[in-house]
């Protein structure tokens, strides 16, 4: 009696990208952001929001200094914008994020310094967008300066207790946006979004 041998199926690669490739680092960066945002603690959710706004800002600033003003709406500018985002995404998570977390931990259980830093960054996004759309280097430089400013605000939390009713690192669900960011932060995010839309409409 003969037994039929089962054919061994070739092992599929567990991941559709090579280790150490650009896609690999993008996936790692994305996973890190998801890990921070899914944390129950408000502080880690705020750190993830801070990193995301930093990525958007640096993408706008870097793109401003690379593209030519007369080719803003060309295909080449779109490609530059995409590659700028990819670079800023990786640097934002692995470099900026690695610096941000220990700085934020200096404030102890305070979350208000992080909230204020995000408000500064949200206000900063339309400034950087205007610098890009209208080719104003002054606005791009101001946007970069405000990134530095918000880091000092976080550092201030290590020296001073911010008087705020919700200045305690508690747990919150991802849907509780106002609890995480605070009332001022929620308003700032809405204003920033409206301003961004108006800037790109006026610049078109």
Task: Pull the structure tokens for residue 49.
Answer: 């929001």
Whole-model pTM: value is: 0.85
pLDDT in 10s for each residue of the chain, 204 residues: 444 455 555 455 567 777 878 889 999 999 999 999 888 888 899 999 999 999 999 999 999 999 987 777 788 889 999 999 999 999 999 999 999 999 988 887 788 889 999 999 999 999 999 999 999 999 999 999 999 999 999 999 888 877 766 667 777 776 676 777 877 888 888 899 899 889 888 876
Cα(110)–Cα(163) distance, rounded to whole angstroms? 10
Q: At what angle do helices 137-156 and 112-133 cross, to 10 degrees?
A: 170
């Amino acid at each position: 009696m003969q037994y039929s041998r089962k054919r061994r199926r070739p092992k599929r690669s567990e991941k559709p990208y090579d280790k150490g490739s650009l896609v690999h680092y993008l996936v790692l960066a994305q996973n890190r952001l998801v890990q921070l945002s899914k944390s129950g603690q408000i502080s880690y959710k705020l750190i993830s929001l801070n990193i995301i706004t930093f990525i958007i800002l640096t993408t706008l600033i870097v793109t401003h200094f690379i593209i030519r003003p007369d080719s803003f709406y060309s295909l080449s500018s779109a490609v530059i914008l995409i590659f700028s985002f990819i670079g800023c995404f990786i640097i934002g998570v692995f470099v900026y994020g690695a610096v941000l977390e220990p700085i934020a931990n200096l404030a102890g259980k305070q979350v208000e310094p992080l909230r204020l830093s995000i408000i500064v960054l949200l206000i900063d996004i339309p400034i950087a967008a205007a610098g890009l759309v209208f080719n104003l280097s002054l606005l791009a430089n101001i946007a970069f300066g405000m990134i530095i400013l918000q880091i000092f605000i976080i550092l201030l939390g290590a020296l001073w207790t911010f008087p705020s009713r919700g200045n305690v690192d508690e747990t919150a669900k991802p849907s509780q946006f106002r609890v995480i960011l605070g009332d001022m932060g929620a308003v700032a995010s809405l204003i920033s979004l409206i301003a961004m839309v108006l800037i790109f409409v006026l610049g078109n």
